[in-house]
Structure formats: C-alpha cells, structure tokens
C-alpha cells in the first residue's frame, strides 16, 4: 500500500525537478512529474545500489533512456545520498555544473550512461545485460553468485519510435536477457502533440513479438509499478517490458497531459499552481521535507550493508578458490598479461601480400585467448569482417561464456550495445561492419567518443577496393567524417604489421573509441627492416627521401601507402627527392570525390 510518506517522497522528486527546470529557465518538467512514482519505486524499493560507492561492481544499473528527464534523475540521486548536492540541482543546465541538460556518464555520480539522443539508452541497457550475463558466467559458481545485478531503465515513446531501440530490443528478446526490466513511460504525448498524430502501433504487442515478458500498469500508482517490477526481476528467462500509463506533467493544472509540459519550464505561476495542486507549499523552492529526506537516505545504509555483504562473499570466494583472487583483481583492474604484446603476429617483407582485414583476424585470434576482456562480433558480416574469435564460442541463450556476439543486421543496435558492454566492466568490446555502414551506427559512435568509452570498431572494405558491390557500398566521406569527430581515434593501417600495431594502440586506449579501417584487398607487407613503422606517432616518415631536403612529400594512409611508395621510387629515378609519410593513425588523409564512382 502506498503510504503518505511514499506520496510525500514522490512529490519531493516532482517539486525538486520542476524547481530545477524553472530556475534554469530551460528543460523538461513533464517527464519528472509523470514518472516520479516509477523512479521512486526503483530507487527506494527495488534497486540494490550504494549511493556512497557508485562504482560498486555488483550494483543494479539504471539508465534513463529518455535523458531529457534528467532533472528527475538528478533529484533522485541527490535525495538517495549520491554526491550531488542541492546546489548542484540549483545549477541545473548551467555551464560547468554536474547537472547538464542530458545525463553524462563520468561526470555525475550515479549516471550509468550518457543519454539524450533517443533510443540509445535502450541499446545501452541491452549491452549492460549482455555484460552482466557474461560476467556472471565468468565469475559465478553453482554455490556463489558474485554477479547478479539487474539492469533497469525508463524509456519514452520517443525511444520506442527510434529504430535503434527496435534493433536492440529484438536482440535482447532473442538472447533471453532476463536481467532487464524496462519501464516504458506511455504518456501519449510527444513534442509535436499527441502521439495519435504519428504513433498508434501496439507497442506491447511488438515487444511480445520480440520475445519479451510484457506487463501493463498504471505508472502513477506506486503499488502497481512495484508489483510489476518485482515480477520483472523474478522473470529470469526473458527481458521484461512494463508499459506504464502516465500523464505527462502530472499535477500541473493547465499543462498536464499536453505537449506544453514536455520541453519548456512550466512558468513561475504554473509551478506555484502545480505545488498547490499537489498539496505542496507554493512559496518554497528546492524544498525537501525532513521526513522525506530521512526516508530517501535510508538508501545509504541499505546500500552500504548490501555492498558489505557482497564484499564478504567476494572475500570468501577468494579464500575458497586459490587463484580466483588474482583472476578477479586482474580482470577488474584491467591488468593485461605482461607478455601480451609478444603475442602480436609479425610479418616479414618476404611474406605474401595480405589484406589488412586478414591481418586483423590473425591479431584478434592471437590475442583473444590470452585477453579475457575481448568480446565482440559483427553485424552479420563476420565472414567478411574476419573478426570471429575461433574457439571462444557464441554468446547465446545456452552459452553465456561465449565471447562472439552475433549482432545480426543491426549496426545501430550494435553500436549502442557495445557502449553498454564497455560501460559495465573493463571489456575490450569490438563491433564490425563495412566502413560504409558506419553511417548506420554513427549516433552510437558519437556517444562513445563523447563519453570516453573504449570501444573498437572493425570497419573493413574501407575503399573502392571492396569490389563489385558498387557505390551503395563504397565509403567515400567516411574517413573525413570520423576524423572530424572529436575523441574518436581513426586508424587506417598500411599493411599487416601496421594493423597489429594499430590493434595494440586500440587495446591500450581506455578513454575513448577507436575505428580500425581495413582493406578487403591484399596489400604488400612493408619490410619492417627497410621501413620505419611507427604508427603510434600518428603521422610519421615511413620512407625518407634521398636528399635531406626533399623536393616532394607524399602523404597517404592504408591501401594508398603502397602506391605512394611506388611513386616515390619512380620519382627518385627521375631525380625528384621524395619522402613518404604514412598517416595511419590521425590527421586528415587524401580522399578524392572521384572515388564515388559507380563501379571499380
């Protein structure tokens, strides 16, 4: 039964949120007013989290895919005792604050993923659930569950309209990711008005079609929400989708149930009217009743107890199984084996020409057995991307140990899922497709770059060298596009050995994503005894000119480097002293519009 205290607490979340939006003169009051009961139930009655240690390994995860409702999330984080003060709430959406317009991971304690671009959070949740299942398979024993956290999320109808969420949800259903409970805020309103103008599908039926466990509740009723969420947690074979019928801007006398409550402050008068309507003092701002705060802050003690108990179990596990402690610590501290670089394959100048995708395959398969962090897969192009890790199994319903992910033809879902995996634990997560199909997944790549998530993209078929598939499959603008994206490392190795070096750098990078652009066609192996291979410098002199001051400098990347070396040879014969610079890692590169031709 919902108590008066519950109601007070829920209204505290609502009022803090609309005050924050009003003070910022910018933001979204509608979602916090409508979803406060849902979020309150999760944060105080369901989730196992420790506000004092937001990095506790086995904490339940919560992702607000509808990131525009950030004020609600910040309010809850403050109230339950995370390191986020009332002053932080007061500086909502201000430059340099810990409470930006949309939630940003690594910036605010308790934020698990950067969300806002709709649909991404749903994909992140699926990735977190994959990570959770795989970690459980790695570290649990029949007697002891060290990893058993749940993954919760709240999404909006905007999320439900985005294809990326559809892709991820389809895969989650296929994989039977029972640790997911997703609450869908069905308020019937989007920015342009009633969802009736464009969105009348049966979302529950769709999720049933994906294979989810589907429930339907009044999202304003905490008891109904609690019962449904508990049923979701109890369902371990399928992810759970809870349609929560809500009213956007609930409590606002003149804006509730309308698009006006969505994306603009209510206005001072309407804030006051809303407060009066919900029995709140209308002359108080950022007001937190003592009994509400006391109740919320129980989360601190509860969280500390939960974590302490878990740490006790961890200690017992370390004692029980010799060697386990080292395995555990090494994994979580990302302590790579000392000799891992020695496992990188080396090619000699006498080796036959080899495609860089093929070299990459050899690198992956040389390293993966020794690096348990490596997990990943292709968007239905494993046989072309050559990223399959032989002998390590497929991650499937019946095999959570599998380290190869079968994303299907779902590039965008793959991008968002990879972000979720890498946010959950120090995995070396990779995803593969043709370079041209970067376009299909770019919003997730951008969020990886923005959030500093160490994901590795294996983009093969990186030029017109891809063959006869034609211009629909030919990358042209993609390298420029990626190089202009801040914090995204773009690598286009010139041969097999550079490919190995690029992989090394990508694995060592922990503060952002790396794209490896690889050829389908064979490239000659540049003799490492003749050429200087220093890919870690980004641009570097690969082959020096005959004279100290060269007449010409040719810069190239990837499959064009061999052409540059050929040109150098001819030019030197003609008396032009020529230097060749390889730009494998960074800065811009030559690209011609002519390459947008219809056929090779």
Q: Across-strand partners of 554?
A: 580
- Binding of residue 93 to a second copy (CB under 8 A): yes
Shortest distance in whole angstroms from residue 404 CB to a second copy? 10
Shortest distance in whole angstroms from residue 438 CB to a second copy? 9
Choose which of 86, 344, 505, 600 interacts with a second copy (CB under 8 A): 600
8 A C-beta contact, residue 54 and residue 104: no
Q: Smaller CB distance to a second copy: residue 162 or 361? A: 162
The CA distance from 401 to 349, in Å, is 39
- Binding of residue 380 to a second copy (CB under 8 A): yes
The CA distance from 139 to 434, in Å, is 34
Shortest distance in whole angstroms from residue 9 CB to a second copy? 28
8 A C-beta contact, residue 114 and residue 165: no
Q: Smaller CB distance to a second copy: residue 99 or 221? A: 99
Both tokens assigned to 348: 């000699």
Only one of the segments 6-14, 88-96, 217-225, 249-257 lies at the binding site for a second copy (rule: CB under 8 A); that segment is 88-96
The CA distance from 321 to 301, in Å, is 30
Q: How crowded is residue 326: how many other Cβ atoms within 10 Å of its Cβ?
A: 11
In the region spanning residues 431 to 470, those forming contacts with a second copy, defined by CB under 8 A, are 436-437, 439-440, 442-443, 446-447, 450, 467-470
Q: Smaller CB distance to a second copy: residue 66 or 533? A: 66
Only one of the segments 328-336, 374-382, 526-534, 546-554 lies at the binding site for a second copy (rule: CB under 8 A); that segment is 374-382
Instruction: Give burial (CB, 10 Å; 0-12/13-18/19+) of 534.
Output: middle
Is 104 an active-site residue? no
Q: Helix or strand or coil: residue 459?
A: strand
Residues 393-432: x where in contact with a second copy by CB under 8 A, - otherwise, as a string: -x-x---------xxxxx-xx-------------------
The CA distance from 45 to 9, in Å, is 12
Q: Smaller CB distance to a second copy: residue 246 or 436? A: 436
DSSP H or E stretch at residue 34: helix 30-41
Shortest distance in whole angstroms from residue 138 CB to a second copy? 22
In the region spanning residues 13 to 32, those forming contacts with a second copy, defined by CB under 8 A, are 24, 26-27
- Binding of residue 598 to a second copy (CB under 8 A): yes
Q: Smaller CB distance to a second copy: residue 64 or 292? A: 64
Only one of the segments 12-20, 35-43, 101-109, 573-581 lies at the binding site for a second copy (rule: CB under 8 A); that segment is 101-109
- Binding of residue 586 to a second copy (CB under 8 A): no
Query: How open is the CA angle 534-536-539, to the nearest 5 degrees?
Result: 70
Choose which of 158, 232, 550, 558 interacts with a second copy (CB under 8 A): 158
In the region spanning residues 217 to 236, those forming contacts with a second copy, defined by CB under 8 A, are none
Query: How open is the CA angle 443-448-452, to the nearest 5 degrees?
Result: 150
- Binding of residue 153 to a second copy (CB under 8 A): no
Choose which of 2, 86, 94, 254 interacts with a second copy (CB under 8 A): 94
The CA distance from 265 to 174, in Å, is 41
Q: Smaller CB distance to a second copy: residue 279 or 391? A: 391
In the region spanning residues 184 to 203, those forming contacts with a second copy, defined by CB under 8 A, are 190-192, 195, 197-203
DSSP 506-564: HHH--SS-EEEE--SSEEPPP-TTTS---GGGSSEEEE--SSSS-SEEEEE-GGGHHHH
Q: How crowded is residue 245: how many other Cβ atoms within 10 Å of its Cβ?
A: 17
Catalytic residue among 112, 226, 411, 560: 411
Only one of the segments 36-44, 422-430, 454-462, 473-481 lies at the binding site for a second copy (rule: CB under 8 A); that segment is 473-481
Q: Smaller CB distance to a second copy: residue 27 or 513? A: 27
Choose which of 140, 258, 384, 577 interacts with a second copy (CB under 8 A): 384
- CB contact set of 169 (below 8 Å; sequence gap of 6+): 122, 126, 207, 210, 212, 239, 241
In the region spanning residues 299 to 358, those forming contacts with a second copy, defined by CB under 8 A, are none
The CA distance from 234 to 487, in Å, is 40
8 A C-beta contact, residue 22 and residue 268: yes
In the region spanning residues 501 to 520, those forming contacts with a second copy, defined by CB under 8 A, are none
The CA distance from 264 to 249, in Å, is 11
Residues 103-122: x where in contact with a second copy by CB under 8 A, - otherwise, as a string: -x--x------xxxxxx---
Q: Smaller CB distance to a second copy: residue 95 or 338? A: 95
- Binding of residue 164 to a second copy (CB under 8 A): yes
- Binding of residue 97 to a second copy (CB under 8 A): yes
Only one of the segments 10-18, 267-275, 290-298, 484-492 lies at the binding site for a second copy (rule: CB under 8 A); that segment is 484-492
Choose which of 485, 557, 583, 589 interacts with a second copy (CB under 8 A): 485
Shortest distance in whole angstroms from residue 144 CB to a second copy? 31
Q: Smaller CB distance to a second copy: residue 171 or 533? A: 171
- Binding of residue 171 to a second copy (CB under 8 A): yes
- Binding of residue 237 to a second copy (CB under 8 A): no
- Binding of residue 599 to a second copy (CB under 8 A): yes
- Strands (DSSP E) along 518-594, which ranges? 522-523, 540-543, 552-556, 578-582
- Binding of residue 481 to a second copy (CB under 8 A): yes
The CA distance from 273 to 32, in Å, is 16
Burial code of 328-344, b = ≥16 C-beta within 10 A, e = fewer? beebeeeebeeeeeeeb
Q: Smaller CB distance to a second copy: residue 118 or 526? A: 118
Both tokens assigned to 454: 């160490």
Map tokens 């990711």 to a residue. 177
Both tokens assigned to 566: 């050929």
State CA 157 to chain mean position distance: 20
DSSP 276-318: HHTT--TT-SS---HHHHHHHHHHHHHHHHHHHHHHHHHHHHH
What number of chain residues touch a second copy (CB under 8 A)? 97
Q: Smaller CB distance to a second copy: residue 116 or 303? A: 116
The CA distance from 362 to 388, in Å, is 10
- Binding of residue 148 to a second copy (CB under 8 A): no
Shortest distance in whole angstroms from residue 291 CB to a second copy? 33
In the region spanning residues 63 to 82, those forming contacts with a second copy, defined by CB under 8 A, are 67
Q: How crowded is residue 83: how many other Cβ atoms within 10 Å of its Cβ?
A: 14
DSSP H or E stretch at residue 564: helix 561-573
SS3 of 358-394: HHHHHHHHHHHHHCCCEEEEECCCHHHHCCCCCCCCE
What residues are labeled active site? 411
């Amino acid at each position: 039964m919902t108590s008066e205290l519950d109601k007070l607490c829920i209204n505290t979340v609502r009022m803090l949120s609309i005050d924050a939006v009003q003070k910022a003169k910018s933001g979204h009051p509608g979602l916090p007013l409508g979803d406060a009961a849902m979020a309150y139930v999760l944060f105080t009655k369901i989730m196992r989290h420790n506000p004092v240690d937001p990095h506790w390994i086995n904490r339940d995860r919560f992702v607000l895919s509808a990131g525009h409702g950030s004020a609600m999330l910040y309010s809850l984080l403050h109230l339950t005792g995370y390191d986020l003060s009332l002053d932080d709430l007061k500086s909502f959406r201000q430059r340099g604050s810990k409470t930006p317009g949309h939630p940003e991971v690594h910036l605010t304690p308790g934020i698990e993923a950067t969300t806002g671009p709709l649909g991404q959070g749903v994909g992140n949740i699926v990735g977190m659930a994959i990570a959770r299942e795989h970690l459980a398979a790695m570290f649990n024993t029949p007697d002891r569950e060290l990893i058993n956290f749940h993954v919760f999320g709240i999404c909006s109808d905007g999320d439900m309209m985005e294809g990326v969420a559809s892709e991820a949800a389809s895969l989650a259903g296929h994989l039977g990711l029972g640790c997911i409970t997703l609450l869908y805020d069905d308020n019937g309103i989007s920015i342009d008005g009633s969802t009736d103008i464009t969105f009348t599908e049966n979302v529950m039926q769709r999720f049933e079609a994906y294979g989810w466990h589907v429930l339907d509740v009044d999202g304003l009723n905490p008891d109904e929400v609690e019962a449904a969420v508990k049923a979701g947690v109890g369902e371990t074979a399928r992810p759970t989708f809870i349609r929560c019928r809500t009213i956007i801007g609930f409590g606002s006398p003149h804006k509730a149930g309308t698009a006006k409550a969505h994306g603009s402050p209510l206005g001072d008068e309407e804030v006051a009217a809303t407060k009066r309507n919900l029995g709140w003092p209308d002359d108080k701002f950022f007001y937190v009743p003592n009994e509400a705060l006391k109740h919320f802050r129980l989360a601190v003690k509860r969280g500390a107890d939960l974590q302490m108990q878990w740490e006790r179990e961890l200690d017992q596990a370390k004692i029980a199984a010799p060697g386990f402690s080292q395995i555990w610590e090494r994994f979580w501290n990302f302590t790579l084996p000392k000799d891992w670089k020695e496992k990188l394959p080396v090619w000699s100048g006498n080796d036959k020409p080899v495609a860089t995708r093929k070299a990459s395959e050899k690198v992956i398969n040389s390293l993966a057995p020794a690096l348990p962090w490596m997990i990943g897969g292709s968007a239905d192009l494993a046989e072309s991307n050559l990223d399959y890790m032989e002998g390590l199994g497929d991650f499937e319903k019946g095999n959570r140990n599998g380290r190869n992910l079968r994303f299907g033809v779902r590039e965008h879902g793959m991008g968002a899922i990879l972000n979720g995996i890498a946010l959950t634990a120090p995995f070396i997560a990779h995803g593969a497709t043709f370079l041209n199909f970067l376009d299909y997944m770019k919003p997730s790549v951008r969020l990886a770059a923005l959030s500093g998530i160490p994901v590795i993209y294996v983009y093969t078929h990186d030029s017109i060298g891809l063959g006869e598939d034609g211009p629909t499959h030919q990358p042209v603008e993609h390298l420029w596009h990626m190089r202009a994206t801040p914090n995204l490392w773009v690598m286009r190795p010139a041969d097999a050995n550079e490919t190995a070096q690029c992989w090394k750098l990508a694995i060592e990078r922990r503060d952002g994503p790396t794209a490896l652009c690889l050829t389908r066609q064979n490239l000659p192996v540049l003799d490492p005894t003749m050429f200087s291979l220093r890919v870690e410098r980004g641009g570097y002199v690969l082959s020096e000119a005959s004279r100290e001051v060269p007449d010409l400098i040719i810069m190239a990347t990837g499959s064009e480097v061999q052409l540059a070396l050929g040109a150098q040879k001819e030019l030197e014969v003609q008396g032009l002293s020529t230097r060749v610079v390889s730009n494998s890692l960074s800065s811009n590169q030559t690209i011609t519009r002519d390459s947008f031709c219809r056929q090779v």
